[in-house]
Structure 1
Amino acid sequence: MLIFATIAATYQTGQASALQITTRSLTLVAGASDGGSKIGGVVNHLFTFTPGTSGQTIGSIQFLYCTTASVTACTTPSGLVTTSATLFSQSGATGFTLVNTTNGAPYITRTASAITGTPALSYQLNTITNPTVTAQTFYVRITIFTAASLGGTATDTGSVAAATTNQIILTGTMPESLIFCAGATVSTTSGIPDCTTATSGAVSFNQLFSPTDTATATSQMAASTNATNGYVITVNGVTLTSGSNTIPAMTSATTGVRGTGQFGMNLKLNTTATSTPAVGTEVAATPNGTDLRGQAFTGYNTADTFKFVSGDPVAKSDNTVAGPTNAQIFTASYIVNVAGNQASGTYTTTLTYICTATY
């Protein structure tokens, strides 16, 4: 939408007895709902100008709307309405009231008094209906009178030009959106989680499995959606397996116990009570219940407590209430504890995270 348009003009009025008004312009200012240069829009007209005669007496100023700038007969632009105009502001020479009874020829009037020097004058007339002819240039002939109500002598004069035009109406559509990715790491770009930075999903544990220590690993995922009811992320897969040998999954949320077969995960920053160094990171950015709603789900949302059940929800965008959310990065922390008789071998699992949005 075009909000305003300003065009200054330097048209001579041809009145030999009058001095030229200088530095003059008409700015089409946006109205309550219409852009300033909208064809037929109800807008505001701001006049600024400087008198040519220093110290003159001013009693009234006329704004005569015409289709031409010359002093020949004035034809009011088609569709122009000034009879609803109001005087919104005045400066430089004040004390005026508006007379708008004649369409296309409003004027402001006061008890005549002299100005000091040649001050910059400014008057804004509100709720004027622009001409309705497409892309029309129209002119306003400004004339200063020495007495009230267009009486006395016409002194300084000058014309300004303005133009109406088509508005630019931009239209765009935001579709249903779900951005989700998982990998060993997901980074940010300009502080925003960026799925184009997601690395391979191949992740190795930090050490060999041992009945005397806890092995750890991490992966990351990022999600955002505009879904009204937000998203749910589930983990899907099987426990770590080597041939026919497996490491028992932690089917209920519990702490790690060294020397006991355990495979589990959470989405929290854990402590050295689980491992050294501590594994994991809190969701980033921190959920705030408004534009950041993603958080770890029950069973996976307590530090140093781990669980793994295929199909479980591990995260939801339901902080405060389920709903849309900007992007956040979750860090999944995995632990493995093994019993002393755990069979040797290379243990692997393929986990698939699924993010489901409900619109």
Structure 2
Amino acid sequence: MSVSIRTKILSSSMASLIIVVSLLNLAHGVKALALSSRSVAVGSSKSSEVTSHRFDFTLSTMATMGSIEFEYCENNPFVGTACSAPPGLSLSGVALGAQSGETGFSVDGSSTANKVVLTRPSILATPTAVSYTLTNAVNPSENNKTVYVRISTFSTVDGTGPRTDSGAVVFSTASGISVDGFVPPYLTLCVGVTVDLTCQSASGTQLDFGEFSTKQTRSLTSQFAAATNDPGGYSMFVAGPTMTSGSNIIPALATSSSSQIGKSQFGMNLRANSNPSVGSDSAGVGTAVPTAGFAVPNQFSFNNQIVALSPLSTEFNRFTASYIVNISPSQSPGIYNTTLTYIATAAF
């Protein structure tokens, strides 16, 4: 009986010894696993730019984690080997702008100009996708510079001791491409007896009322069109005298008035009229409109003022100017004429 008992005890001891040895061998064989799904997104790749660097990766090991190290190197991506800092890189003012997955981190005081250590109290981390955004990073000063960022996780809170998981990502600086262009200012105006809506053509420069009558209003039309990219738009002036024959004149309508047969008067407007039947309303998708003295049908005036305007940049509008002449029985005979000049102005 005693022999049998000793044998069982011995067997039990051997079993325990075997278990212990197996655990020791397992602990000795632990190595850092690779972080998976690694990527880096830089806010700007311009050299010497103050920008953000966002790192995304997935933890591989369920283990205690107290710190994460981001080491920037110019020579290679191999974790644990000598690292040469990229010229001009500065991480001294880096802040942790955002974090997700495993959180609770802040920038550790052991960080350097080319290495950032994030720290938190050591707690268990599970294999999960994580993301960390470092802000206020200064990119290397050289254009087209390749930068390797070695990423390691640690159970310690200061980035020391054995690595749990590790991996690397890479980005490059680039010289900026300057793209310039120039939009020339334009103010397009065409005037004629008839004009195309977009000033592709204009024809005629003379109008003839024929013989004036004390019993009938004489009327004629001409057209103008305009457009501009000036943010302040444009103003259209009509300059010139009333109808004259030597020292004799047909009085201009200084204020808006209706056509009155038998009374000497000269005026114009920019609307479709029924008394007399002459003219048409403006055409086009632009924003220009007749001004007050020329915007009411059957009301005419002439006083060397602004006849149309747009308060902002505008596509083309075409206006039809309607001219009327009435004369009284006492109007002096003669050949009456005038020359009207259309002037468009913009500020630019």
TM-score (norm: length of structure 2): 0.71
How many Å separate the matches in 1 of 2:206 and 2:96?
Answer: 73
Q: Does 1:150 align with 2:159?
A: yes
* 2:225 pairs with one of 221, 227, 236: 221
Match of 1:305 in 2: 299
**Matched-pair contact (CA < 8 Å) for 2:96–2:135:** yes
**Matched-pair contact (CA < 8 Å) for 1:257–1:337:** no
After the TM superposition, which of the residue ranges 61-70 and 325-334 deviates more from structure 2? 325-334
SS state at 1:149 partner: coil
Match of 2:236 in 1: 233
Q: Does 1:336 align with 2:324?
A: yes
Match of 2:71 in 1: 64
How many Å separate the matches in 1 of 2:278 and 2:253?
Answer: 25
Partner amino acid for 1:353? Answer: Y
Shift of 1:41: 1.0
Shift of 1:19: 2.3
Q: Does 1:256 align with 2:256?
A: no
**Matched-pair contact (CA < 8 Å) for 1:186–1:222:** no
**Matched-pair contact (CA < 8 Å) for 2:227–2:315:** yes
How many Å separate the matches in 2 of 1:215 and 1:123?
Answer: 79
Give CA-to-partner distance per residue, 1:100-152, whole Å, 9 cap, x none: 53221101122233344432x11110001111122211110011223322245
* 1:103 pairs with one of 100, 113, 117: 113
Alignment of 1:1-359 (within 5 A): 17-29=31-43, 36-51=44-59, 53=60, 55-71=62-78, 72-99=81-108, 101-119=111-129, 121-151=130-160, 153-173=162-182, 177-183=186-192, 184-187=194-197, 194-195=198-199, 197=200, 199-201=202-204, 211=215, 215=219, 217=221, 219-224=223-228, 226=230, 231-236=234-239, 248=250, 250-253=252-255, 254-258=257-261, 260=263, 262-267=265-270, 269=271, 272=274, 274-276=275-277, 279-281=280-282, 285-286=286-287, 296-297=290-291, 299-308=293-302, 312-315=304-307, 325-327=313-315, 329=317, 331-336=319-324, 338=326, 351-358=340-347
Partner amino acid for 1:300? Answer: F
Shift of 1:336: 3.0
After the TM superposition, which of the residue ranges 158-167 and 256-265 deviates more from structure 2? 256-265
Shift of 1:318: 7.9
Match of 1:289 in 2: none
SS state at 2:34 partner: coil
Shift of 1:78: 0.7
Unpaired runs of 5+ residues, structure 1, are 1-15, 30-35, 188-193, 287-293
How many Å separate the matches in 2 of 1:277 and 1:198?
Answer: 23
**Matched-pair contact (CA < 8 Å) for 2:56–2:132:** yes
**Matched-pair contact (CA < 8 Å) for 2:266–2:325:** yes
Partner amino acid for 1:65? Answer: Y
CA RMSD of aligned residues (A): 4.2
Partner amino acid for 2:35? Answer: I
How many Å separate the matches in 1 of 2:142 and 2:319?
Answer: 62
Shift of 1:356: 3.3
**Matched-pair contact (CA < 8 Å) for 1:203–1:219:** no
Distance 1:217 1:69, change over 3 A: same
Q: Percent identity?
A: 31
**Matched-pair contact (CA < 8 Å) for 1:82–1:103:** yes
Number of matched pairs = 309
Partner amino acid for 2:221? Answer: A
TM-score (norm: length of structure 1): 0.69
**Matched-pair contact (CA < 8 Å) for 2:282–2:317:** no
Distance 1:326 1:127, change over 3 A: same
Match of 1:33 in 2: none
Shift of 1:161: 1.0
Shift of 1:215: 4.5
Shift of 1:70: 3.4
Shift of 1:61: 1.2
How many Å separate the matches in 1 of 2:307 and 2:328?
Answer: 33
**Matched-pair contact (CA < 8 Å) for 2:146–2:170:** yes
Runs of 4+ deviating beyond 6 Å: 202-205, 238-241, 347-350
How many Å separate the matches in 2 of 1:340 and 1:37?
Answer: 82
How many Å separate the matches in 1 of 2:307 and 2:171?
Answer: 59
